[in-house]
Amino acid sequence: MKHRASFIRRSGRLVADPSEDQVGRSRRTRRWAFIGSGIILALATVGGFLTVTATTPRPIPAATLSPVAVPEYTPPPPPTEPAVPANLVTDTVSGQRVFLRPATSGTIGIAYLLPDAGDDASTLLVGALADALNDAGLAIATGDLGGTSWGSPTSTTSLSELRAWAEPQVGDVPVLYFGVGMGATTAVTALSREPDVPVACTYAVAPVTDLATLATADPRVRQQIATGWGRIPDAAENPSLLIPGLPTDTVYRVIVPAAPEARVTDANAFVSGLQESGHTVTSLTASADASIASLSRDILVFGQECLS
Find the Cα–Cα–Cα–Cα dihedral 111, 116, 119, 125, rounded to 10°: -10
- Asked whether the predicted pLDDT for residue 81 surpasses 70, the reply is no
Mean pLDDT of 154-167: 96
- Asked whether the predicted pLDDT for residue 204 surpasses 70, the reply is yes
Is the preceding peptide bond at 195 cis, omega within 30 degrees of 0? no
Query: Comparing 25-34, 153-162, 253-262, which segment has the lowest mean pLDDT?
Result: 25-34
What is residue 125's DSSP assignment?
T
Domain ranges of the chain: 7-54, 89-307
d(CA 112, CA 121): 11
Mean pLDDT of 110-129: 93
CB 139 within 8 A of CB 103: yes
What was the pLDDT predicted at 1? 44
How does the average pLDDT of the chain come out, rounded? 82
Cα–Cα distances in Å, from 174 out to 83, 164, 295? 28, 14, 22
d(CA 283, CA 298): 11
97 pLDDT band, cuts 50/70/90, is very high
Percent of the chain with pLDDT over 90: 52
235 pLDDT band, cuts 50/70/90, is confident
Q: pLDDT tens for residues 176-199?
A: 999 999 999 999 999 999 999 999
What is residue 91's DSSP assignment?
E
What was the pLDDT predicted at 79? 60
Mean pLDDT of 249-278: 93
- Number of other CB atoms surrounding residue 4 within 10 Å: 7
Q: Which CATH number fits domain 89-307: 3.40.50.460, 3.30.470.20, 3.40.50.1820, 3.30.470.10?
A: 3.40.50.1820
Instruction: Give the residue, 19 or 236, on which the prediction is more confident.
Output: 236
Mean pLDDT of 263-281: 94
Torsion region of 246: left, alpha or beta (phi above 0 gives left; psi -120 to 50 gives alpha): beta
- Asked whether the predicted pLDDT for residue 82 surpasses 50, the reply is yes
Instruction: Give the residue, 273 or 106, on which the prediction is more confident.
Output: 273
Instruction: Give the residue, 182 or 293, on which the prediction is more confident.
Output: 182
Phi, psi of 186 (to 5 degrees): -60, -40
CB 157 within 8 A of CB 194: no
Instruction: Give the residue, 261 or 78, on which the prediction is more confident.
Output: 261
Q: pLDDT tens for residues 209-228?
A: 999 888 888 888 899 999 99
Sign of dihedral through CA atoms 234, 235, 236, 237? positive
Cα–Cα distances in Å, from 167 out to 87, 109, 162, 205? 16, 10, 8, 24
122-150 exposure pattern, b = at least 16 Cβ within 10 A, e = fewer: bebbbeebbbbbbebbbbbbbbbbbbbbb
For helices 296-307 and 128-135, the axis angle rounded to 10 degrees is: 30
What was the pLDDT predicted at 33? 54
What was the pLDDT predicted at 271? 96
Query: Comparing 27-41, 88-102, 253-267, which segment has the lowest mean pLDDT?
Result: 27-41
Q: State which H helix or E strand residue 274 sits in.
A: helix 261-276
2 Cβ partners below 8 Å, 6+ apart? none
13 forms beta bridges with 10
This prediction's pTM:
0.73
For every residue of 170-195, DSSP letters joined together read H-S--EEEEEETHHHHHHHHHHHH-T
